[in-house]
Amino acid sequence: MALVVTAPPAALSHAAIMEAEVTQAIRLHAFYETGEPMSQAQVFIYAPDDPAQVWGQGIADMQGRYEFIPDAIAGRWSVQVRQAGHGVMAHLDIGADAPVMTISSTPDTWAQRALMVALVAWGALGTALFARSRKGKQDASA
């Protein structure tokens, strides 16, 4: 829906024109588990017709919010938000005639969370054991 407004012409001046369009914007809110917003985080948007190329990018505001208007391309849009080594990816399914449906990017079950914790612990244990094995060896060049 487009709206065109014109002012009555005045002598020796230009008419003013304004266009307004009603759209459906996507509003994002990125924050950490603590509730702290991901202030000034980088935002990368990928369209469904070319998911390997960045369609758009920007910076979230101080509250971790970002808004964009996707092209009229139906399919799965992907949005990535990154800040200081932390990041999250979410997917948005946009249908030709359907409303936007957000798919959560956080683990939904305790089993998924437990698996992530176990993997991090396993990595930390492996790193500690590697460092310990290197500590016992003396430098041959000394």
Any idea of the CA torsion for 67, 3, 49, 26, to the nearest 10 degrees? 20
User: What are the domain boundaries of the chain?
Assistant: 18-105
Contact 30, 88 (CB under 8 A): yes
CATH number of the 18-105 domain: 2.60.40.10
Confidence at residue 137, expressed as pLDDT on a 0 to 100 scale: 63
Confidence at residue 2, expressed as pLDDT on a 0 to 100 scale: 47
Instruction: Give the span between the Cα atoms of 30 and 42, in whole angstroms.
Output: 10
73 or 54, higher pLDDT: 54
Whether 53 has a pLDDT exceeding 90, the answer reads: yes
CA 11 to chain centre: 50
Per-residue pLDDT reduced to its tens digit, 79-133 = 999 998 888 888 888 877 655 555 555 545 666 667 667 777 887 887 888 888 8
